[in-house]
Amino acid sequence: MSKIFMNGKLVDKTDAVISVYDHGFLYGDGIFEGIRIYNAKVFKLHEHIARLYESAKHIDLAIPLSIAEMCKAVEETVIANSKKEGYIRLIVSRGVGNLGLDPRKTTNPQIIIIVDDISIYPEEMYEKGMEIITATTIRNIPNALNPRIKSLNYLNNILAKLEANRAGVPEAIMLNHLGEVAECTADNIFLVKDGVLKTPAIHCGILEGITRNTVIDLAKVEKIAVEECVLTRHDVFTADECFLTGTAAEVIPVVKCDGRSIGLGLPGEITKLLRDRFRKFISV
């Protein structure tokens, strides 16, 4: 049976329970990270934990473990579940409180580490590419709820995901409040135009993805020009290539958006190159 880390202890999956008064459950008051396991190694663990603690600092949530202790807890939970390939969901909630919003009335932040399997898209989609749409639901305005906080409240993304579901496609682009391309519901987005790799800049209101940053680094190694810039739907429609990146998705090509073919309507050469380089990178 799967073992779940809960506040310093490994418990059986059936015994991993929290109070209904936990503010993570009541109000989405908490943060999380999704992390991959490749070849029994935790991928980019320190980068993920650093982002977790950055999110915690932004929402004034004191995590009752040091960064080193958190890294150790993650690694020990992976070992306890004997996972060579898998997915980690690391959650920190504000803790138990009353039915009011006030965080000062909560106690004991909850630390939960889940190790399990994950499969977002079928392998065929990685070979042939996927179709996406542009959602009418815009990304949260950064000054209201900054997307760089990986919070437990994903309703903004879920509303856009519902639009994708209704359109019969697996993903949707979310625009920011200025009408610029931000990201998809669960993935960062990249375009290729005239050999240049382009992706929305951080100030466009996106989550700074760990996989996103890894792909940018791999592109630079391959001497591919990279621009973190403002992109619009025009750029998507006129791109030569498009692909998405994410912890669960890894690198997946996009061949159609809003019913329009992107480029030749097939995964592009730079997309295939970076997907290959990423798979080699994670296998080391």
Question: Which residues are designated catalytic?
Answer: 150
User: Does residue 67 contact residue 53 with C-beta atoms inside 8 Å?
Assistant: yes
What is the chain's alpha carbon radius of gyration, rounded to the nearest angstrom?
A: 19
CB-CB neighbours of 159 under 10 Å: 16
User: Whose structure tokens read 């390939």?
Assistant: 85
Question: Rounded to whole angstroms, how far apart are CA atoms 258 and 261?
Answer: 9
Let me know if 284 is exposed, middle or buried by CB neighbors in 10 A (0-12, 13-18, 19+): exposed
Residue matched to tokens 């998405």: 244
Contact between 196 and 227 under an 8 Å Cβ cutoff? The reply is yes
The span from the CA of 129 to the CA of 142, in Å, is 31
| Nearest alpha carbon to residue 25 among 37, 33, 15, 17 | 17
